[in-house]
Structure 1
Amino acid sequence: MKSKQTSAESRLERGRRALKAIDGEAGEKVIEALKDIAPDFATYLLEFPFGDIYSRPELSLRDREIATIAALAAMGNATPQLKVHIEAGLNVGLTKTEIAEVLMQMSVYAGFPAALNGLSAAKEVFALRDSQGLSGPN
């Protein structure tokens, strides 16, 4: 089933709104970090993944973050992005336990090193959030 965005809102505007809802401050830091080296790439990031894909109604943001966390962990070479999306998962309602389960599931399909690295990244994100008083549900 094909989904079409029907809002008069531009892809860029929709992307900015989605990024804020999903990634909050962490997402803004990624966009800001690109401004001096690749400002067009920052725009592409806002328009395509967030304005087009994340904004589709067929999956919830929670479900999209489960898929994203799994994919990034399985890649095994995207730890900074994985940490951003673990944070995003917590922002959209995933619990720490659910995130750990997703990462453990990756041991079956991506191997123990990918799962261990993912769990290590999650542990760092959880500890940082705990230290900021943002621990959320387990």
Structure 2
Amino acid sequence: MTKFPHSGSESRLERGRRALAEIDGEAGEKVVASLADIAPDFATYLLEFPFGDIYSRPGLDLRAREIATIAALTAMGNAAPQLKVHIEAGLNVGLSREEITEIIMQMAVYAGFPAALNGLFAAKEVFAK
């Protein structure tokens, strides 16, 4: 289980940057960079809270966190760009294409076929890269 422990010497921002690099790699950095000209403070919040605080908590490994995130974004049905980033993250932390496909298909039961279809098409785009 990869953890990003809270230490007194590392800020939330530093811990968030470290977590983002491991989880999302280049895709995450692109999201942060794309905010620089419109909302740089929001990029900081994105690094500090989700990655510096939540992803860095003990209790779930990064693989389990990405399963939950892919499922939630699929169920939302309106977050394709974020879903694609997290599908890439899932691959980065050890999920297989088959596992990601199954996670998305499972959401048809709870979020409906349109949400699952949108998720599968997002996964197809990511897998084609």
Q: Shorter-chain TM-score: what band?
A: over 0.9
Counterpart residue number, 2:47: 46
Counterpart Cα distance in 1 of 2:40 and 2:122: 28
Cα gap change, 1:37/1:107 in structure 2, threshold over 3 Å: closer, same or farther?
same
Deviations 1:20-71 (A, max 9, x none): 0000000000000001100000000000000000011110000000000000
RMSD: 1.0
In percent, how many aligned pairs have the same letter?
80
Counterpart residue number, 2:72: 71
What letter is aligned with 1:85? Answer: H
SS at match of 1:13: helix
Counterpart residue number, 2:35: 34
What letter is aligned with 2:21? Answer: K
The answer for unaligned runs of 5 or more in structure 1 is: 129-138
More RCO (CA 8 Å, sep 6+): 2
Counterpart Cα distance in 2 of 1:111 and 1:84: 22
What letter is aligned with 2:58? Answer: P
The answer for unaligned runs of 5 or more in structure 2 is: none
SS at match of 1:93: coil
Counterpart Cα distance in 2 of 1:7 and 1:120: 43
Deviation at 1:9, TM superposition (A): 1.0
TM-score by length of 1: 0.88
Runs (4 or more) in structure 1 with deviation over 3 Å come to none
